[in-house]
Structure 1
Amino acid sequence: MGMISLRNAGHRAGDLLFSNLNLVIAEGDRVGLVAPNGRGKTTLLRAMAGLSELTEGEIARSRGLAMGYVPQEVPGNALSQTLTAFVGSALDAATQDAESWRVDVVLDELSIPLEFREKPLGELSGGWQRMALLARAWVTQPDALLMDEPTNHLDLGRIMMLEEWLSYAARTLPVVIASHDRAFLDATTNRTLFLRPSEQVYLPLAYSAARAELDQIDAATEAQRERDLKQAAQLRKQAAKLTNIGINSGSDLLTVKSKQLRDRAEKIETQVHEVHRDRTGLVRLGNSGAEAKVMMAFENVPIATPDGRPLFTVDKLHIFQGDRIVLLGRNGTGKSQFMRVVTDALAGSVPAGLRISPQLAPGYLDQALAWLPLDPSPLDYILHRFDEGDRRTIALLAGAGFPPDRQGKPIRTMSLGQRARLALLALRLQQPNFYLLDEPTNHLDIPGQEQLEDDIREQGATSILVTHDRAFLKAIGTRYLLIERKKLVEVDGPDRFFSEMAA
């Protein structure tokens, strides 16, 4: 029976990431690992895989347990390898010679097209690189599977394929999945570990049900904390009253009783549990507003590939102020090209048939964060792009999760999650009233996703969104446009499209 056991596990990397972690992950346990960016998910997965050590406690594995680990990125020195060679490199030389067929079997199992198999990884998209990482872990025939952000860069079809594959291929294995994709966690896990600096919460539920239970636990802890602090305050008030009476009357007994009350209050205060709150630095977006009713209007606007091949035509579409439009469609149907036409139009290259309100103030967030420079520091970037002044810029960056000692480091040294927060801050300072969002949640943790959802809904900004994040698009969408059979049609919601993708 395959098993991973953690005892008093914890890790410090300057700050305390997590501690007091005690649990056993056995066959059939599919654990969702949830925490904000930078709070130790990758550290814990690597330690489980035997690739690094924790600073506290111990990790034990069943004798001979073979671990399959799927990291977030392909190593830089492997990008020149073909996909097939990269997958095969997980096998020792003897196995490669005797059982090279195993590579083809796994590539077929994961439906990786033949035309990609002999291409260098560096020429493939992030999604196909992610599938190569999974294939490399699976070709070793592991007894346990550890996956770090497996849905990043995958389109919706691939995510659903991965969900189905996990349901049968890894059904009996111990599986641990670190992910910010809430719908994926709900579909693939039956347990959830909320990783926290002190008390860990491990619940035998998939993410959404576990999150609801966790909110109740935190609310109960907060209520108990308030009761305890109120009781301690009453004891101190009584102690002070007895002290005054004792001094005035000269009663030593009252003085002793007063000290006993203060000691009881102090004991209660030291045992009070702080309620955990995720503090990753959240950026609140706004809406600069507009009086125009129609922000953008299409009439017979052709959408084509960059080389001119026609995809579909937007016959007639009005985007009204406050609309939050979600664009749906299979890969290759033209979602990216539609977004390109809109982006180019907002930059001044407006095609015939497209009208844009002069009141429209655009803000753009794309999955690659390609417009974000890498050489300057966050402080230099915000200072030189926006007229906010030194002190306010430092405060804004601190509020976004960048303490002063990290504000001067080059952006290229930051994680993708940190870059996403910086991009959101820049987006906020642009003061847009129209958001163009292309896979905006790719590098955001769950608190960041929820904050973005709340901001877009509450501020009422007009939005066009392309995303594979089902929870996110359901949370903010008010209109849904589907590209199918070379037409753009409005549908009531995304569920039919999801069902067709899963079929």
Structure 2
Amino acid sequence: MALISLNSFGVTMSAPLFSNLDLTIGAGDRLGIVAANGRGKSTLLKCLAGELDATTGGITRSRGLRIGHVEQSVPDTLLDCGFHQVVADALPPEQRGSELWRVDVVLDSLDVPEDMRGRPIRALSGGWQRLALIARIWVTDPDVLLLDEPTNHLDLAKISQLETWLNALPREVPVIVASHDRAFLDATTNRTLFLRPQESPVFSLPYSRARQALDEVDASTARRFERDMKVAQQLRRQAAKLNNIGVNSGSDLLTVKTRQLKERAEKLEDAAVAAHRERSAGAIRLTNRGTHAKVLITLDDAAVETPDGTLLFRTGKRHICQDDRIVLLGRNGVGKSRFISMIRTAIAEPGTKQNVKVTPSTVLGYSDQALSGIGDDTPLAMVSRRFEVGEQRARSLLAGAGAEMQEKKIGALSGGQRSRLMMLVLRLINPNFYLLDEPTNHLDIEGQEALEEELMKHQASCLLASHDRSFIRAVGNHFWLIEKRRLVEVDGPDEFFRAAAETER
């Protein structure tokens, strides 16, 4: 039985986000919504929740259907409220007195520690804030659950916890997830909607298998389009020849035949459907200036410490060499970001970090989680001044990177736009060593795959920390794990992924 039905549904802003969408959502559905940044995922969720009207088409919901919508950001009005209070306040007033126990049941199901339940939302990490929003919606006992980028700010352990929680929900409750996390979609969905401006394909498959099916459909459509266009051209050439013969001979029969051939060509051309081409949110291109040095950085049992001098771990004897793509693994708080910061300082200020030797030819390209390397000027001013290029060249570079609002403050850009701007900065630095802390944050799947491809294509040496399992598996060729205050090399990331998941169960 369909709980929600969309019929020829569409939304147009400055251009169509999606149109002619026919979709039913019923019990047992775990639907993943996939699209590039700014292509309508959040808009569709708001339409499903009844918070936004469509431009065309209609939507039907079952009578009395309760829809729970978990948005991406915490409302400012909740920031100073305690975790428990935020969830309790979502209950209808008549239930708060007699059914407050429901709050504890939900918080227990999400493994929220007792000492955290009284803390204000403002004081929580981004990951716990996400779980607070999910708890706030789930306590209302919705019939349908909508999740907008639910893994944002979550570490691997919390992502695993969320996967386990979602998969344990009653099967009659449909869950619709808009996400760029490929591994998360594979673990939690059984249907995939690829949101497109014209026709939006739906497959009864989780993301990776659905993506393969979509690629096959697109390839078949492209072949059919090419074949139809070739046949239409042949018909037009035949019509042109017959027309010349008919004119010279005065044959009415050949004139009729010429018209028929032209009509057949026009019908083929009108009916032909070109394969979908995703409008890029901006190209990601990296470079590698190279170096003759084989070893870029040598670690001689260097100590990684907190700002107050507390030891987090020691590195042992390690080398970072050309073509190394090292992924740093470890639970939150073990010192990954401190290690990355130490390496950055050692490159920027040679000799200041004990037991860290940097080859002089090493040129750093660095990006942190906050994307602080792009500042808060306008994109145009930042690129023009920092890299001493003229305004016309700066505009061209920014347009290629997808920075449409070139003269607005960088802080006003979306997360995806700022990430692509940061990638442009890295390209212009032209490094031979990349130091990347959560580089796929805010990037859509197209951007993630482009970054993977660029790092591989340029054989860029890099050290990176990430919670994106698909990205880690695709890029890494060395894996360093921080555990028991030591840095050890492991064969791959999957054992760490399994251990993180088992800890949260």
TM-score tier after normalising by the smaller chain length: over 0.9
Q: State the one-letter code of the partner of 1:343.
A: R
Secondary structure, aligned partner of 2:301: strand
Contact 2:27 2:174 in 1 (8 A): yes
Q: In the alignment, what sits opposite 2:152?
A: 152
Q: State the one-letter code of the partner of 1:173.
A: V
Q: In the alignment, what sits opposite 2:371?
A: 369
Deviation, structure 1 residue 330:
1.4
TM-score using structure 1 length: 0.97
> Which 4+ stretches in 1 moved above 4 angstroms?
none
CA distance in 2, matches of 1:337, 1:397: 32
What per-residue deviation string (whole Å, max 9, x for no partner) do you get for residues 77-97 of structure 1?
A: 321222222222211222122
CA distance in 1, matches of 2:264, 2:229: 12
Q: In the alignment, what sits opposite 1:262?
A: 262
Task: Between 26-35 and 86-95, report the one with greater CA deviation.
Answer: 86-95
Task: Between 140-149 and 167-176, report the one with greater CA deviation.
Answer: 167-176
1:67 matched to 2:44: no
Contact 1:278 1:447 in 2 (8 A): no
CA distance in 2, matches of 1:75, 1:170: 28
CA distance in 2, matches of 1:185, 1:321: 34
Q: In the alignment, what sits opposite 2:399?
A: 398
Contact 1:2 1:65 in 2 (8 A): no
CA distance in 1, matches of 2:461, 2:310: 30
Contact 1:285 1:428 in 2 (8 A): yes
Contact 2:25 2:174 in 1 (8 A): yes
Deviation, structure 1 residue 2:
6.7
CA distance in 1, matches of 2:295, 2:267: 63
Change (3 A) 1:170 1:430: farther
CA distance in 2, matches of 1:97, 1:2: 34
What per-residue deviation string (whole Å, max 9, x for no partner) do you get for residues 34-89 of structure 1?
A: 00000000000011111111212122221111111111110123212222222222
> Which residues of 2 match residues 216-295 of structure 1 at below 5 A?
216-279=216-279, 280-295=281-296
Task: Between 392-401 and 144-153, report the one with greater CA deviation.
Answer: 392-401
Task: Between 198-207 and 260-269, report the one with greater CA deviation.
Answer: 260-269
> Which residues of 2 match residues 344-493 of structure 1 at below 5 A?
344-348=345-349, 350-374=352-376, 376-403=377-404, 406-493=405-492
Deviation, structure 1 residue 413:
2.1
Secondary structure, aligned partner of 1:254: helix
Q: State the one-letter code of the partner of 2:242.
A: L
Q: In the alignment, what sits opposite 1:327?
A: 328
Give aligned pairs, total. 500
Change (3 A) 1:370 1:89: farther
Change (3 A) 1:309 1:170: farther
Task: Between 484-493 and 168-177, report the one with greater CA deviation.
Answer: 168-177
Q: State the one-letter code of the partner of 1:389.
A: G
Change (3 A) 1:268 1:502: same
Contact 2:373 2:422 in 1 (8 A): no
CA distance in 2, matches of 1:10, 1:48: 12
CA distance in 1, matches of 2:297, 2:439: 21
1:141 matched to 2:144: no
CA distance in 1, matches of 2:442, 2:269: 39
> Which residues of 2 match residues 181-192 of structure 1 at below 5 A?
181-192=181-192
Contact 1:243 1:255 in 2 (8 A): yes
Contact 2:452 2:471 in 1 (8 A): yes
Q: In the alignment, what sits opposite 2:311?
A: 310
What per-residue deviation string (whole Å, max 9, x for no partner) do you get for residues 264-293 of structure 1?
A: 111211111121122221221111111110
Q: In the alignment, what sits opposite 2:338?
A: 337
Deviation, structure 1 residue 377:
2.4
What per-residue deviation string (whole Å, max 9, x for no partner) do you get for residues 111-166 of structure 1?
A: 12233222222222211111111111111111111000000100000000111111
What per-residue deviation string (whole Å, max 9, x for no partner) do you get for residues 463-487 of structure 1?
A: 1111111100000000001111211
Change (3 A) 1:321 1:440: same
Identity %, equivalent residues: 54
Q: Tell me, which stretches of 5 or more residues in structure 1 are unaligned? A: none
Secondary structure, aligned partner of 1:98: coil
Deviation, structure 1 residue 170:
4.4
CA distance in 1, matches of 2:111, 2:41: 29
Q: State the one-letter code of the partner of 1:460.
A: Q
Contact 1:365 1:438 in 2 (8 A): yes
Contact 1:83 1:121 in 2 (8 A): yes
Q: State the one-letter code of the partner of 2:373.
A: W
Secondary structure, aligned partner of 1:428: helix
Deviation, structure 1 residue 315:
1.3
Change (3 A) 1:84 1:347: farther
Task: Between 353-362 and 386-395, report the one with greater CA deviation.
Answer: 386-395
Task: Between 104-113 and 7-16, report the one with greater CA deviation.
Answer: 104-113
Contact 2:374 2:425 in 1 (8 A): no
Contact 1:2 1:143 in 2 (8 A): no
Secondary structure, aligned partner of 2:218: helix
Contact 2:374 2:382 in 1 (8 A): no
Q: In the alignment, what sits opposite 1:45?
A: 45
Q: In the alignment, what sits opposite 2:57?
A: 57
Task: Between 32-41 and 94-103, report the one with greater CA deviation.
Answer: 94-103
Secondary structure, aligned partner of 1:103: helix
CA distance in 2, matches of 1:82, 1:290: 53
Secondary structure, aligned partner of 1:4: strand
Secondary structure, aligned partner of 1:246: helix
CA distance in 1, matches of 2:373, 2:433: 18
Contact 1:88 1:136 in 2 (8 A): yes
Q: State the one-letter code of the partner of 1:408.
A: E
Q: State the one-letter code of the partner of 1:134.
A: I
Secondary structure, aligned partner of 1:325: strand
CA RMSD across the alignment: 1.4
Change (3 A) 1:2 1:227: closer
Secondary structure, aligned partner of 1:142: coil
Q: State the one-letter code of the partner of 1:241.
A: K
Task: Between 68-77 and 154-163, report the one with greater CA deviation.
Answer: 68-77
Q: State the one-letter code of the partner of 2:56.
A: E
CA distance in 2, matches of 1:392, 1:265: 44
Q: State the one-letter code of the partner of 2:363.
A: A
Secondary structure, aligned partner of 1:371: helix
Contact 1:2 1:144 in 2 (8 A): no
TM-score using structure 2 length: 0.96
Change (3 A) 1:282 1:300: same
> Which residues of 2 match residues 24-173 of structure 1 at below 5 A?
24-173=24-173
Contact 1:9 1:56 in 2 (8 A): yes
Deviation, structure 1 residue 259:
2.0
Deviation, structure 1 residue 444:
0.3
